[in-house]
Amino acid sequence: MILINNCEDRNPLLFISGEHLESNEKFNLYLLYDEKTLKWKKDLGTNPKITEAFCEAVVEIAKNSPHNKTIKEMETRDMEIGNFVKYTLEENNEL
């Protein structure tokens, strides 16, 4: 079982801290949202021993908790910023 203690927007990183209750191991995940795959990927600040599969599982648990709002806002904000920049460049014929 995984317990999530904290979930923060640390623009552009999503920071999740928690504990794996069966092993009593604490973890800190630093994740970046990949707009191409629409998945969260671990950043270099995350312990290299932690797998992508574990990160994905933690994000899914967080999405089914009160932290869902933070995650959803970050997923949509990143896309909106990218589209805004693209629109601005197209408008100025710089694209």
What average pLDDT values come out for the chain (95 residues) when binned by 10 residues? 95 94 95 91 94 95 93 78 47 50
Report the pLDDT value the prediction gives residue 9, as an integer from 0 to 100.
95
User: Percentage helix, strand, coil, to 5, in the chain?
Assistant: 40, 35, 30
Report the pLDDT value the prediction gives residue 5, as an integer from 0 to 100.
95
Report the pLDDT value the prediction gives residue 28, as an integer from 0 to 100.
97
Sequence-distant (≥ 6) Cβ neighbours of residue 18 within 8 angstroms: 2, 3, 4, 5, 6, 26, 27, 58
